[in-house]
Amino acid sequence: MTSPVTRLRRRLTLWYVGIFALILLAFGAVTYEIVVHQVDRALDRSLMATVDATAALIEEADSGAEPTPVPVVTPGRRVWVLNQDLTETGYSSTPAEPWVLDAARRAFAHGTARAGGETPRDRIFRLRARAVTLPDGRRIAVVAAAVLVEIEDQYPSVILGFALAGLVSLGLVALGGWRLARRSLDPVDRAMSEMRRFMADAAHELRTPLAVLRGHADVALQKDRDGTEYREVLDDVSREAARMGDIVERMLLLARAEAGDWPTARESLFLDDVVLDVGNAGRALGGSRGVRIEVGDLDEAPVRGDPALLRQLLMAFVDNAVKFSPDGGTVRLSLVRQGDMCVATVEDEGPGIPDEARPHVFERFYRADAARPRQRGAGLGLAIAEWIAELHGGSVALGTRDGGGTRAAVTLPLELGQS
């Protein structure tokens, strides 16, 4: 089944080709008219040059004592020389036809004449005529004509050239249009693929707590139970419902963040205070398993941003560090200044992140389950953390701690001028 993006790509390609074809046709029509006009002008100049040359030849011959008329023969042209009473002279190459006589009559009346059209024999012609006064005072009309076979022979070559150029151009435009449509729609294609994957992952992630909820409900309804047993079932239902709510809340946060619809506060604060607050919260998370939270280097770091989001960013890494640390392990927090940036780190003593998993850890719903056997999250925390860091002009990175474990680093710009 053809995807919508592929169909849209084909439509865009056809649209590009169609628009270019219309432009090419319009350009070809205008250019063709220009070429025809230029050819016509060149022919007129050539005919007038023939008329002038013939008139000069006759004037030179007429100045002699006994001129001997000789028909004027010009390659590719027909020449007539007529007296004022429209009778033939000996200089005409062929007998004058009515359309020639009409041109000579207009030349005598107006000095020059220009004509074109079809002869009674269906021959297309173009002519120029001029009245000339000879040295002895006589007036003659010199008419030069060209049957437009030579022009008509040129037009097909012009049309063929345009047709070949048009076909080649359309082929190139079709190829270019396809590549352009493909390049312009690739982000849409990737976005749709990402959306389909997100929906599939979300459905898969929500399916488990839903199945657990239904299982608890079915078990509770199989027989009558006392209040304590119902309370235990309801506790389990409440935990799974809370997990579902957390997943949905995080999905909505990411959706609103990508749509630019998340309200963000911008205020001056000290990130070291946020690190201390997160460290205290982490101690409560790790208390049941004896995981210790230690705060190491803590430089003063004024930043500008949303306190709640920055706390959520650091808590995401602390929560992961506590979750994947061994019982009785240690999670270390630190904050140091580096030039006009500050770097907050969270280090744990857990199994670390496999090399093959590192490029994917910030993807939604991704979980390296083999390396994280106790993982119970939805795989959205790190995606949200990355968005928060980028929102504040910073970045996040995960690596391996010296001696084993994971090292998460959050780099944020300092608010210069504050200390």
What's residue 60's pLDDT?
A: 77
In which band, very low, low, confident or very high, does the pLDDT at 374 lie, cut at 50, 70 and 90?
very low
Task: Determine contact, residues 239/215, Cβ cutoff 8 Å.
Answer: no
Task: Determine contact, residues 350/321, Cβ cutoff 8 Å.
Answer: yes
What's residue 63's pLDDT?
A: 63
Q: Which long-range contacts (CB under 8 A, 24 or more apart) does 178-185 make?
A: 178/9, 178/13, 180/12, 180/16, 181/8, 181/9, 181/10, 181/12, 181/13, 181/16, 182/9, 184/12, 185/5, 185/8, 185/9, 185/12
pLDDT at 1 exceeding the cut of 60:
no
CATH number for 147: 3.30.450
The share of the chain scoring above pLDDT 70, in percent, equals: 63
Residues, the chain: 419
CA 324 to CA 377: how far, in whole Å? 11
In which band, very low, low, confident or very high, does the pLDDT at 121 lie, cut at 50, 70 and 90?
low
| Residues 136 and 275 both lie in one domain | no
Task: Determine contact, residues 100/127, Cβ cutoff 8 Å.
Answer: yes
Q: Which long-range contacts (CB under 8 A, 24 or more apart) does 248-253 make?
A: 248/206, 250/378, 250/380, 250/381, 250/384, 251/202, 251/380, 253/384
What's residue 332's pLDDT?
A: 92
pLDDT at 315 exceeding the cut of 50:
yes
Task: Supply 168's token pair.
Answer: 């080649």
Hey, is 228 helix, strand or coil?
helix
Q: Looking at per-residue confidence, does 127 or 221 come out higher?
A: 127
pLDDT at 327 exceeding the cut of 70:
yes
CA 146 to CA 154: how far, in whole Å? 14
Instruction: Name 140's Cβ contacts closer than 8 Å, sequence gap at least 6.
Output: 58, 81, 82, 83, 84, 89, 131, 132, 134
What's residue 371's pLDDT?
A: 41
DSSP code string of 236-271: HHHHHHHHHHHHHHHHHHHHHHHTT------EEEEH
Query: Of 147, 94, 85, which Cα lies nearest the Cα of 121?
Result: 147
Q: Is residue 207 part of a domain?
A: no
pLDDT at 337 exceeding the cut of 90:
yes
Lowest average pLDDT, out of 54-58, 87-91, 178-182, 309-313, goes to 178-182
Task: Determine contact, residues 391/264, Cβ cutoff 8 Å.
Answer: yes
What is the average pLDDT value for the chain, to the nearest integer?
A: 76
Q: How many domains does the chain have?
A: 2
CA 218 to CA 200: how far, in whole Å? 26
> How does pLDDT run across 205-260, given as a tens digit for each residue?
566 667 767 776 777 777 777 778 777 777 777 776 776 776 676 666 666 666 56
What average pLDDT does this structure show over 63-85?
69
Q: Which DSSP helix (H) or strand (E) runs through 150? A: helix 149-221
Q: Is residue 115 part of a domain?
A: yes
What's residue 325's pLDDT?
A: 87
Q: Is residue 226 part of a domain?
A: no
What average pLDDT does this structure show over 346-369?
70
In which band, very low, low, confident or very high, does the pLDDT at 37 lie, cut at 50, 70 and 90?
confident
In which band, very low, low, confident or very high, does the pLDDT at 342 lie, cut at 50, 70 and 90?
very high
Q: Is residue 406 part of a domain?
A: yes
Q: Looking at per-residue confidence, does 174 or 378 come out higher?
A: 174
Q: For residue 55, give its domain range.
A: 4-154
CATH number for 374: 3.30.565.10
Of the residues 154, 178, 198, which one is the last residue of a structural domain? 154
pLDDT at 370 exceeding the cut of 50:
no
Of the residues 154, 181, 216, which one is the last residue of a structural domain? 154
What's residue 260's pLDDT?
A: 61
Task: Determine contact, residues 283/293, Cβ cutoff 8 Å.
Answer: yes
CA 50 to CA 3: how far, in whole Å? 69
> How does pLDDT run across 285-307, given as a tens digit for each residue?
777 788 899 998 899 999 998 88
Q: Looking at per-residue confidence, does 302 or 169 come out higher?
A: 302
In which band, very low, low, confident or very high, does the pLDDT at 336 lie, cut at 50, 70 and 90?
very high
pLDDT at 372 exceeding the cut of 50:
no
What's residue 344's pLDDT?
A: 94
pLDDT at 273 exceeding the cut of 90:
yes
Q: Is residue 278 part of a domain?
A: yes
Q: Is residue 224 part of a domain?
A: no
Q: Is residue 42 part of a domain?
A: yes
In which band, very low, low, confident or very high, does the pLDDT at 166 lie, cut at 50, 70 and 90?
low
Task: Supply 94's token pair.
Answer: 């062929």
Of the residues 99, 122, 154, which one is the last residue of a structural domain? 154
Number of H helices, E strands in the chain: 7, 11
Q: How far is CA 7 from CA 3, 11, 186, in A?
A: 6, 6, 13
Query: Of 349, 373, 343, 375, which Cα lies nearest the Cα of 293?
Result: 349
Q: Pairing between strand 395-400 and 330-338? A: unpaired
pLDDT at 80 exceeding the cut of 50:
yes
Q: Is residue 189 part of a domain?
A: no
